[in-house]
Amino acid sequence: MQLLKDRILKDGKCIGTDILKVDSFLNHQIDVALVAEIGREFARLFAGLGVNKILTIEASGIPMAYATAHAMGDLPLVFAKKTTPNTMTDGVYSAEVRSFTKGTVSHVIVNQNYLGPDDTVLLIDDFLAHGEAASGLAEICRKAGAKCVGLGAVIEKKHQGGAEKLRKQGLKVESLAVITSLADGKIEFDN
Q: What's the predicted TM-score (pTM) here?
A: 0.94
3-class DSSP assignment, residue 63: helix
Give percent above pLDDT 90 in the chain.
85
Q: What angle, rounded to 10 degrees, do the helices at 32-45 and 62-71 form?
A: 60
Q: Is the pLDDT of residue 18 over 90?
A: no
Q: Which residues pair with 175 in a beta bridge?
A: 153
How many residues are there in the chain? 191
The class that CATH gives domain 35-178 is alpha beta
Mean pLDDT, rounded, for 142-151: 98
Residue spans of the domains in the chain: they are 35-178
**Confidence bin at 87 (pLDDT 50/70/90):** confident
**Confidence bin at 59 (pLDDT 50/70/90):** confident
Distance CA 47, CA 37 (A): 15
Residues 61-80 pLDDT 10s = 999 999 999 999 999 999 99
Q: Is the pLDDT of residue 100 over 70?
A: no
Give percent above pLDDT 70 in the chain.
97
Residues 152-184 pLDDT 10s = 999 999 999 999 999 999 999 999 999 999 999
Distance CA 101, CA 62 (A): 17
